[in-house]
Chain A
Amino acid sequence: MPDATIVLDTRAIQRALTRIAHEIAERNLASTEVALIGIPAGGDHLATRLGKILAEIWHHPVPVGALDVAMHRDDLDQRTAPTIYPTDIPFDVNGKTVVLVDDVLFSGRTTRAAMDALTDFGRPKKIQLAVLIDRGHRELPIKADFVGKNVPTALDEKISLLLTESGAAQDEVLLKKKL
């Protein structure tokens, strides 16, 4: 791949997720109230991985779901229609501490859409945000509670998360110029 920089390799991704899981555990003493909801594509796989690590820390299963945000986006007038991914929330969000999981935090607009989409399913007690990469350039007052790595970027750059769950040969986070 020409002029792509590896931001995180397989082991670094694993370490970052392990640390985030421990931070989630540290922040949330009422472990049975915690549920993870990933934002596809990317965040849903990360949520599943975090769920497994947290289950080992807490010695009980942690509910994991996926939430599509396409229908709640605020830019539907300015772009071709986005792909809609399956939403699957197999638990009641009312009263839960929901940790939203996304791969990259950028403008914050996806997170805003996710919070709106989530409230259609009920009223969580708290919503927290975990991201693997925070690349800056926020357009909304949104801040992540748990960050894998802060990566300063230019607007004409793109961050891609490759995961074996999505068919990649190995886990990687890449930074490259937009075409």
Chain B
Amino acid sequence: MSWTKKHLLDIESLTAEEIITVLDTARGFKAVGERAIKKVPALRGKTVVNLFVEPSTRTRISFELAAQRLSADIVNFSADASSFKKGETLKDTARNLEALNADFIIIRHSASGAPHFLSRVVNAHVINAGDGAHAHPTQALLDMFTIREKKGKIAGLNVTILGDILYSRVARSDIWALTKLGANVTLCGPSTLVPKTFERMGCRVTHDVDEAIRDADIINLLRIQHERQRATMFPSIGEYTQLFGLNQARLAKTKPDALIMHPGPINRGVEIDSEIADSGRSVILEQVTNGLAVRMAVLFLVNGGKTITETA
């Protein structure tokens, strides 16, 4: 065991060993979800606050259920019904939550770096549930868990991430995790959304989708993030689907055991063919199941982290 971190802010600051510790721990929690009694007392008496300043359904519910299965109390705090609309700063909101003795703050925010900022001004454990286009560490961890469970390993696998890379925090966190664990990462999508600068993160960049998925063991599809794009980055959705959407013809040219992943929400008929999303090649719903186990593991591990190791 090698986990001493008080917060989970990004993947970049984790070692490969720490990532593996999360995955190993999550395996135990996945088994808890398969029992008749799906609850353990590990965080009994703790208070978890879901501070979601940017809308989210699946991540919020996943964290909510994770906290409940660890016997913690959880409060949901969403931007719509909050005092952000009345002009309160993030720092003041967080301090108010702490005054209510919150032990964990799970934050989703449209500004990159918001969780890091929060970790410096509060004493609670901070978990990043997605900040801007920067990081979504629990998504990357559940992706690693799913790949390792399905393929038995991560090192040496060819993983292709297809879609909107530029605006995707999932892509960035996945790239960090995959490269740390020794996978070969290929990025593909329209050149406006997949700039060559990503090669500096240790990946291969291509704009030829058939070539990108031909030797892939894992094809991870990303949604077009309309809400984060300042202007139209490609002519039309129809053209995107035609050039980069995963359809049966393209799938037929991939390895027969290549798995299809997607962080959700999926746009059927845009980045993925409806039938493929429901096929045996797709592990999209297993990712959701694994996400719950991974989030339980993260809450469990940071609870034991007493030292702030991420201070620069």
Contact = CB atoms under 8 A, between A and B. Distances in A.
Is B one of A's binding partners? yes
Interface of A: 68, 70-73, 76-77, 79-87, 116-117, 120-121
Contacts of A70: 28, 42
B24 A84 contact: yes
A76 B42 contact: yes
**Which residue among A70, A79, A80 has the maximum number of chain B CB atoms within 10 Å of its CB?**
A80
Contacts of B1: 80-83
B179 interface: no
B264 interface: no
A121 B36 CA distance: 7
B28 A84 contact: yes
B42 A121 contact: no
Interface stretch (B157-165, B221-229, B279-287, B301-309): B301-309
Contacts of A82: 1, 304
A81 B35 contact: no
B3 A80 contact: yes
Contacts of B28: 68, 70-71, 84-87
9 contacts: A70-B42, A76-B43, A77-B303, A80-B3, A80-B305, A80-B306, A81-B300, A120-B37, A121-B36
A116 to B, nearest CB: 7
A76 B304 contact: yes
**Which residue among B3, B28, B32, B36 has the maximum number of chain A CB atoms within 10 Å of its CB?**
B28
A80 B25 contact: no
A110 to B, nearest CB: 15
Contact of A121 (B3, B35, B305): B35
Nearest to B300: A81
B303 A76 contact: yes
Contacts of B32: 71
B4 interface: yes
A83 B40 CA distance: 15
Contacts of B306: 80
Nearest to A88: B31
B23 to A, nearest CB: 11
B40 A80 contact: no
Contacts of B27: 84, 86
Contact of B41 (A71, A81, A86, A87): A71
Contact of B4 (A80, A85, A87, A117): A80
B25 A81 contact: yes
A91 B174 CA distance: 39
Contact of B40 (A81, A85, A120): A120
Given A71-B70, A72-B42, A120-B37, 14 more contacts: A68-B28, A70-B42, A71-B28, A71-B41, A71-B300, A76-B303, A76-B304, A77-B303, A79-B304, A80-B3, A81-B1, A82-B1, A84-B27, A121-B36
**Which residue among A79, A80, A81, A117 has the maximum number of chain B CB atoms within 10 Å of its CB?**
A81
Contacts of A77: 303
B29 interface: yes
Nearest to A79: B304
Contacts of A85: 28
A81 B37 contact: no
B35 A80 contact: no
Given A80-B305, A80-B306, A81-B1, A71 B40 contact: yes
Given A81-B300, A84-B24, A86-B27, A72 B40 contact: yes
Contacts of A73: 42
Nearest to B43: A76
Interface in B265-312: 300-301, 303-306
A81 B31 contact: no
A87 B31 contact: yes
B138 to A, nearest CB: 16
A81 B35 CA distance: 22
